[in-house]
């Protein structure tokens, strides 16, 4: 009889199913995974060290680049930490805008997850549909901040500027007919809020389209049901948060349990799973898409009825209006101090967490009273999820590893920081 030996396979870091730069060392017995050892850090940029050398307001942009598919949620945790230390009051309209964009971001993230997860498992078309809707949401980002991904829209004290009154429209082009142009500009006739409202009205139909393609699909179920089961106790032990924890049946959502911003005024439900397998997590995230749409509709309604300021008028932290700077000495000084030195935070430490699309995203900020953070620790949800890779994939087939990477919703920007 020939000698049987375990086979060690190097998976990634350049593999389309590795979601970026994951390197997995897999020990295989035939096609069954005996041990998985993820090697991370290939995208390590030293965000924490960089943030220590910069005034507070200059690090908001780094937050976008952590989890680069849910940008504004990262910013939210960061500005909340600063606001908590300064005791800064944020105008209510700004809070509503933040909640609305947090949920838009959640949908963007989940669409990205859904598309790539399905693509990894073998369903090509969902990816195309998901990215069609994601494009609409990226347009909202662009309309509000000028940037399609890295928005830097949330600032300590509010948001950078109010929502635009006019939604940008497509221009005439040789590539499309006049009829087509009218069609694609149809929902861009009003303000950004009208555009978002139109999206929120149409989106439930799209969610149905995705779930028609997947939920009862035989192949999809064969690949997901009973794969990567994590019990509620194990999920807590492994430090899971977000849909990963809820998929295992633990009812925990920071938006409900420790409401921040104006989430306590929102009506929405928290979906939880039963068995804790990949299919449950899929269902949880699909339901979250519906709930996020609900929250967006509520925000749009409120924002349409309640105009007001979107930035704190404490000019020690928030920049003064440019018009005022031209004839007001104090504004001039505020502007100068703010952009040459920044502002000092009181001595102390805070931990601020938000319900990020992937789980709990936290910022632990230590200040010694200076204009730069003394230490900033970014608690990324993906980090503890990926740490459970070994346990989740043990005893499964090689192809299930891909499903598990998909269900963990890993993005290397935040895992490696």
Partner 1 sequence: MKQLKKQLVKAFGKNSISESFEELTLVINSEDVIDVCKQLRDDFNFSILIDLCGIDYLTYGESDWNGNASSSGFSRARQAQQSSVHKEQRFGVIYHLLSVEDNQRLRVKALLSLDNLMIQSVTNIWNSADWFEREAFDLFGILFENHTDLRRILTDYGFVGHPLRKDFPMIGEVEMRYDEELGRVVYEPVSIEPNVNVPRVIRK
* Residues at the contact surface with partner 1, assessed by CB under 8 A: 40-41, 44, 46, 48-50, 53-55, 58, 84-85, 236-239, 241, 245, 250, 252, 257-258, 340-342, 344, 347-351, 353, 360, 362, 364, 366, 368-372, 374-375, 377, 379, 383-384, 386-387, 416-417
Nearer to partner 1, 111 or 318 (CB): 318
Q: How far is the CB of 33 from partner 1 (least distance, A)?
A: 18
- Our CB check for partner 1 shows the closer of 297 and 367 to be 367
Residues whose CB is less than 8 angstroms from the CB of residue 110 and which lie 6 or more positions away in sequence, other chains included:
285, 286, 288, 289, 292, 357
**Cβ 234 to partner 1 shortest distance, Å:** 8
* Cα separations in angstroms, 346 against 44, 156, 372, 388: 30, 15, 11, 37
At closest approach, how far in Å is the CB of 264 from partner 1? 14
C-beta of residue 28 within 8 angstroms of C-beta of residue 35: no
> In the complex with partner 1, which residue's Cβ is closer, 15 or 377?
377
CB of 55 to partner 1, least distance (A): 5
**Contact call for residues 359 and 110 (beta carbons, < 8 A):** no
Residue 400, class by beta-carbon neighbours within 10 Å (0-12 exposed, 13-18 middle, 19+ buried)?
Answer: buried
Nearer Cβ to partner 1 (7/339): 339
| 315, two tokens | 């000019």
Give burial (CB, 10 Å; 0-12/13-18/19+) of 10.
exposed
- Cβ burial, residue 57 (10 Å; 0-12/13-18/19+): buried
343, 85 contact by CB (below 8 A): no
Q: How many other CB atoms are found less than 10 A from the CB of residue 29?
A: 13
State which residue, 8 or 125, has the beta carbon closest to partner 1.
Answer: 8
Strand order in the sheet with 375-379: 348-356, 359-367, 375-379
DSSP 380-403: -HHHHHHHTHHHHHTTSBHHHHHH
Closer by beta carbon to partner 1, 48 or else 194: 48
Give the shortest CB-18-to-partner 1 separation in angstroms.
17
Question: Exposed, middle or buried by CB within 10 Å (0-12, 13-18, 19+), for 373?
Answer: buried
Distances (CA, A) of 123 to 38, 120, 146, 232, 352: 26, 8, 33, 29, 38
Please, which residue, 131 or 351, has the CB nearer to partner 1? 351
> Closest approach of Cβ 294 to partner 1, in Å?
24
Nearest to partner 1 of 118, 245 (CB atom): 245
Q: How far is the CB of 379 from partner 1 (least distance, A)?
A: 4
- Closest approach of partner 1 to the CB of residue 77, in Å: 12
Kindly report the backbone phi and psi dihedral angles of residue 377, in degrees, each rounded to the nearest multiple of 5, phi listed first. Answer: -115, 130
DSSP one-letter code for 264: G
- Least distance between partner 1 and beta carbon 58 (Å): 8
Give the residue with the Cβ less far from partner 1, 50 or 225.
50
Find the shortest distance in angstroms from Cβ 347 to partner 1: 8
Q: 203, 293 in Cβ contact below 8 A?
A: yes
Residue closer to partner 1, measured from CB, 119 or 318: 318
């Amino acid at each position: 009889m020939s000698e049987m030996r375990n086979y060690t396979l190097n998976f990634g870091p350049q593999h389309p199913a590795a979601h970026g730069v994951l390197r997995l060392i897999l020990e295989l017995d035939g096609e069954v995974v005996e041990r998985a050892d993820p090697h991370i850090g290939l995208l390590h940029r030293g965000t924490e060290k960089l943030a220590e050398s910069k005034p507070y307001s200059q690090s908001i942009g780094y937050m976008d680049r952590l989890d680069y598919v849910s940008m504004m949620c990262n910013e939210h945790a960061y500005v909340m930490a600063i606001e908590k230390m300064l005791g800064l009051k944020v105008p209510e309209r700004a809070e509503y805008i933040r909640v609305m964009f947090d949920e838009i971001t959640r949908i963007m993230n989940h669409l990205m997850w859904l598309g790539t997860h399905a693509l990894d498992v073998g369903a090509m078309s969902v990816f195309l549909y998901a990215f069609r809707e994601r494009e609409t949401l990226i347009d909202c980002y662009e309309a509000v901040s000028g940037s399609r991904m890295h928005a830097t829209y949330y600032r300590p004290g509010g948001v950078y500027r109010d929502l635009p009154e006019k939604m940008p429209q497509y221009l005439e082009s040789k590539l499309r007919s006049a009829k087509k142009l009218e069609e694609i500009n149809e929902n861009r006739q009003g303000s950004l809020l009208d555009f978002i409202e139109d999206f929120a009205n149409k989106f439930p139909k799209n969610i149905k389209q995705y779930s028609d393609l997947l939920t009862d699909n035989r192949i999809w179920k064969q690949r997901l049901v009973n794969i990567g089961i994590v019990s509620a106790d194990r999920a807590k032990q492994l430090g899971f948060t977000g849909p990963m924890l809820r998929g295992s049946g633990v009812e925990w959502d920071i938006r409900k349990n420790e409401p921040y911003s104006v989430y306590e005024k929102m009506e929405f439900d928290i979906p939880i799973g039963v068995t804790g397998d990949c299919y449950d997590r899929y269902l949880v995230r699909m339901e979250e898409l519906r709930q996020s749409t609900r929250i967006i509709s509520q925000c749009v309604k409120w924002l349409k009825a309640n105009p007001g300021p979107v930035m704190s008028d404490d000019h020690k932290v928030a920049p003064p209006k440019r018009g005022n700077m031209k004839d007001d000495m104090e504004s001039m000084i505020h502007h100068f101090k703010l952009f040459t030195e920044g502002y000092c935070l009181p001595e102390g430490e805070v931990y601020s967490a938000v319900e990020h699309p992937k789980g709990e995203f936290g910022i632990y900020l230590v200040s010694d009273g200076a204009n730069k953070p003394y230490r900033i620790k970014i608690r990324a949800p993906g980090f503890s999820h990926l740490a459970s890779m070994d346990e989740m994939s043990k005893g499964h087939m090689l192809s299930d590893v891909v499903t598990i990477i998909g269900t963990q919703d890993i993005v290397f920007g935040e895992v490696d920081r």
